[in-house]
Structure 1
Amino acid sequence: MWLTGRSVALIATAVVSLALAVIAGIPALLYVTGLCAGLVAVAVLLALLSRPRIELHRHVEPAIVEPDEPVEVELALTVRSGVPVVAGQWRERLPSTVLGTATGTVPVTDEPAVELRYEVRGRRRGSHEVGPFSVIVGDAFGLVQRSLSTGGRDRFIVLPRRRPLDVRVGPAGATDGATRLHPTSGLGQDDVIARPYLPGDALKRWHWKATAHHGEPMVRQEESEVRPTVLVVLDTDPRVHDHAGFEWSVSAAASVVAHYGDRGFDVDLACGPTFVSLESGHGLQDALVTLALAEPDSSPVVVPARERTTFVLTGSLDTAAAARLVDAVPSRDTIAFVARGASDAGRSVLTTAGWHVVERDVTDDLASTWDAATGVSAR
């Protein structure tokens, strides 16, 4: 609680009036002294007795957003007090990772709850908290003020940035995509249903009519065939990443997951110790949220032992780190995106295991690096 400038002026007036009353012998000025001092005293007493408190309900919409997408925060503020008080300036604390202004003046209204709104935008992936909230309240004469706050916080999640990828890129280590598939049912009659093209599919399987209709390569899916599946592995080991390299890998993993998830593939995501499965692309947002919240973690990668097309996003590997990945990832049909500074011995461990290695740098464009995978997968 503090005195406002208006109270300071009244106190100064009281002091001057008292001095003039004594020095100049003007008793009437004592009334002015008493009035000024009395107003301040009464305001302080009422402020001590009022015990004001605030109630706040916050709604964040949407709770999951793309990078730079606006997020609207709605506040319902109620000030409760034993005596009437006036709410003035309000402020909501924002992290440095978001752009926006969360401050203003509480409007005067007859309603018990005041509606406040502001908009923010996430600058980078991850979870961003808004709050706590604070507001300045004072008496009706503006003599005494205090700050009230509530510790409640809410958050929203910004998904990783993603890039569109060429549908023709991928490992070609399997014949007709057979090792990239697992059993399913209800796929229809033989040679009737078309599915997206998989790297390695034979030209004789192309469904030209469906390709023209969808605007992307499609192949015939036979009754005996099964749904395509891919595995995306994000190596979260902090020993192989710097900050920029880790963010590049997270963005790349999100792009690959979205690329195949949007096309109806079954996608398994191994993000360090966390494992998420998408069935026919369903659950894509859960996988992207997992990547949005990903942090460097030295825990072992969790990958179920099943052969399928695999993409590994990692960093600057030495021999031990490369051997750890080869032991953790069962698939031989694998492309590993490694940092350009990786040791020759580390890359040799991957290539000896039959992996295709694509070098990348944090300044490289993801789409170009993805295109480069075509060359290594064809060797």
Structure 2
Amino acid sequence: MKRAWPLTLRGTGALVLALACFALASELGIVELLYFGVLLTAVLVVSVAVLYGTSRADGVTRSLHPDVSSVGRESAVSAHVTLRTSLPTSSAVWRDTVPSGLRGEATGAFPALGSGLRGAGSGGTRTAELTYRLTGARRGVHSIGPMTVSSSDPFGLARRTLVFSARTAVTVAPAVIDLPPLADFSGESGGMLQTTTEQLGQGADNLVARPYVPGDSMRRIHWRATAHRDELMVRQEEQESRPEATVVLDRSALRWAAEAKTHPGVDPGFEAAVSLCVSAVARLVYDGYSVDVIDADGAVLAEQLDGADAADVEGLVTQFATLTTRRDDQLPTLRRVFAGVMSGPVVLIVGRFDAADAESVAPVAAHSALALLFAASPIGDALRHASESGWRAGSIDPDDLGGAWAAAVGRGVSRVS
């Protein structure tokens, strides 16, 4: 915010002293006091004129690395601040406004700049580069800014605050937790696992290349075959090397806090569920599964992710930065999504979960080679009932998602809290 009064406490005192000198010089007839008052006034006028008449804010641009932050992850921010100034500037103090969804200290000493009149083609501008670090605190899209630069004259009589109003949107994605692998359960997964990322280079000979046709994903281009045939070729995986998995995130607003419907990042339970969802997807993709991510009614939340494709996982995590709940309660209809089909691993993530819910989703477990269920707010013996119907059930602990995952995978039922 701009200062309405340009003088500092020292400058205000000097102004009061100058006015007192004028009054006393008139009352007492002391000419020297009049001269001293004029001198103080002149110094104050020059101080204000130098600060307010020689420079102005031109603009600020910010860049982040990485481009998308995530909860608990630190990002480096580089701010390029441009001033138009005709005189050299003294050092100042800068501060960038950090929203509540981010944590960090965005303040420091602003460097002294030379005159913008020097140097051909400068256009009277000088640029300073500032860096600081921020940590994602709450999922969602947040804006950094405005930035202020406060400077004073060499005598400390006047102060000016330049405001750079430009804001920069920062996307804070859900945290991805490293979950234990399902490698020990490949016999229950419904198919043979693909090779993991460290074996990707060795798996090319197991793929069949065919000519590219419109609609094929560019990620499937087989560059070695393309160079050999002098035409675009795409990878055609063998059917048995593409096991599939499904992750279901129940977004019913009735099962989560009311705020989760309109504002991402405010309901701890839903945030833990979203984090567990993207973490489970990342784990399954890394283990070689092609993963479908759906809502409880079968609505697709993201395009199918290919096994061992880290880029797909990053895209999903970014997409889920703004995910919220919805009004409809579709969990009782989940059985219809899997009716008549056999699936590989199924991961079901819900909020409030009672015995009636356990009964409604019981048939789904029979259609999955490995059925995992996680509830943020289980009621009574709901998890035990789910376990009896074939689910490996566990409660979501926001502080230990990895432990909840490992416990549910390793036992029929678990409560981790």
Q: Indicate whether the TM-score tops 0.5.
A: yes
Q: Is the CA contact 2:192–2:242 (under 8 Å) kept in the aligned structure 1?
A: no
**Aligned with 1:313 (options 349, 359, 362):** 349
Superposed CA RMSD: 4.1
Distance 1:253 1:230 in 2: 13
- 2-side partners of 1:297 and 1:376: how far apart? 30
Instruction: Report the counterpart of residue 275 of structure 1 in structure 2.
Output: 302
Asked whether the equivalents of residues 338 and 357 of structure 1 are also in contact (C-alpha less than 8 Å), the reply is no
1:14-33 to structure 2, matched below 5 A, reads 14-33=18-37
Q: Which of residues 247, 250, 256 in structure 1 aligns to 2:271?
A: 247
Instruction: Check whether the contact 1:335–1:355 (CA below 8 A) recurs between aligned residues.
Output: no
Q: How far apart are residue 278 of structure 1 and its match?
A: 0.8
**What is the alpha-carbon distance in structure 1 between the residues aligned to residue 72 and residue 361 of structure 2?**
34
Give the deviation of 1:4 after TM superposition.
Answer: 1.8
- Of 108, 111, 123, the residue aligned with 1:107 is 111
Shift in CA distance, 76/47, structure 1 to aligned 2, threshold 3 Å:
same
Residue correspondences, number: 337
- Scaled by the length of structure 2, the TM-score of the pair is 0.66
- Kindly indicate whether the alpha-carbon contact (under 8 Å) linking 2:247 and 2:291 is maintained by their aligned counterparts in 1: yes
d(CA) in 2 for partners of 1:300, 1:340: 16
The 1:355–1:131 alpha-carbon spacing in structure 2 relative to 1, beyond 3 Å, is farther
1:338 to 370, 375, 380: 375
CA distance in 1, matches of 2:35, 2:149: 36
Matched, 1:257 2:281: yes
Match of 2:62 among 58, 69, 72: 58
- Corresponding residue number in structure 1 for 2:323: 294
Change (3 A) 1:31 1:368: closer
Aligned pairs for 1:95-244 (under 5 A) are: 95-110=99-114, 112-138=126-152, 142-149=156-163, 150-168=165-183, 177=190, 188=206, 225-242=240-257, 243-244=267-268
- SS of the residue corresponding to residue 404 of structure 2 reads helix
Question: Given that residues 237 and 297 in structure 1 are in contact (C-alpha distance below 8 angstroms), is that contact kept between their aligned partners in structure 2?
Answer: yes
Bigger helix share: 2
Q: Distance in 2 between matches of 1:143 and 1:51?
A: 17
d(CA) in 2 for partners of 1:292, 1:119: 20
Secondary structure (helix, strand or coil) at the match of 1:255 reads helix
Q: Partners in 2 of 1:235 and 1:316 — Cα distance?
A: 10
Shift of 1:331: 8.2
Where structure 1 has 5 or more consecutive residues not aligned to the other structure, the ranges are: 190-221
- 1 CA distance for matches of 2:399 and 2:185? 18
State the 1:337 CA deviation: 2.0
- Runs of 5+ in structure 2 lacking a partner? 117-125, 195-203, 208-236, 258-266
- 2: CA distance between counterparts of 1:105 and 1:84? 16
Q: Which amino acid aligns with 1:362?
A: D
Structure-2 separation of matches of 1:339 and 1:41: 65
Q: Secondary structure at the match of 1:246?
A: helix
Residue type at the aligned position of 2:256: H
Match of 1:37 in 2: 41
Contact 2:69 2:135 in 1 (8 A): no
Deviation (angstroms), 1:258: 1.3
Distance 1:136 1:61 in 2: 27
- 1:251, distance to aligned residue in structure 2 (A): 2.7
| Equivalent pair of 1:131/1:154 in contact (CA under 8 Å) | no
- Going from structure 1 to structure 2, the CA distance change for 1:20 and 1:259 (only over 3 Å counts) comes to same
CA distance in 1, matches of 2:17, 2:186: 85
Q: For 1:101 and 1:232, how far apart are their aligned partners in 2?
A: 38
The one-letter code sitting in structure 2 at the alignment partner of 1:337 is F
TM-superposed CA distance for 1:31, in Å, is 1.6
Distance in 1, Cα, partners of 2:174 & 2:93 = 33
TM-score, scaled relative to structure 1: 0.72
Tell me how far apart the structure 2 counterparts of residues 271 and 131 of structure 1 sit (CA, whole Å): 36
Structure 2 SS opposite 1:151: coil
Percent identity for Structure 1 against Structure 2: 25
Q: For each residue in 1:92-136, what CA deviation from the matched residue of structure 2 results, as whole angstroms up to 9, or x when unmatched?
A: 011234332111221113271011111122245444432221112
Whole-Å separation in 1 of the counterparts to 2:75 and 2:376: 35
Question: Measured at CA, do residues 256 and 166 of structure 1 come closer, stay the same or move farther in structure 2, by a change above 3 Å?
Answer: same
Which residue of structure 2 lines up, in the alignment, with residue 266 of structure 1?
A: 290
What do residues 71-101 of structure 1 show as CA deviations (whole Å, max 9, x unaligned)?
1111111122577765622110112343321
Distance verdict in 2 for CA 1:323–1:79, change over 3 Å: farther
* Deviation larger for 298-307 or 143-152: 298-307
1:201 is aligned to none
CA displacement at 1:248 relative to structure 2: 2.9
The verdict on how the C-alpha distance between 1:41 and 1:162 changes in structure 2, with shifts beyond 3 A counting, is same
Q: Is the 8 A contact 2:374 2:393 kept in 1?
A: yes
Tell me which of 78, 93, 96 is aligned to 1:92.
96
Contact 1:267–1:281 (Cα < 8 Å) also in 2 = no
CA–CA distance in 1 between the matches of 2:82 and 2:392? Answer: 60
| Structure 2 letter corresponding to 1:297 | R
Letter in 2 for 1:314: V
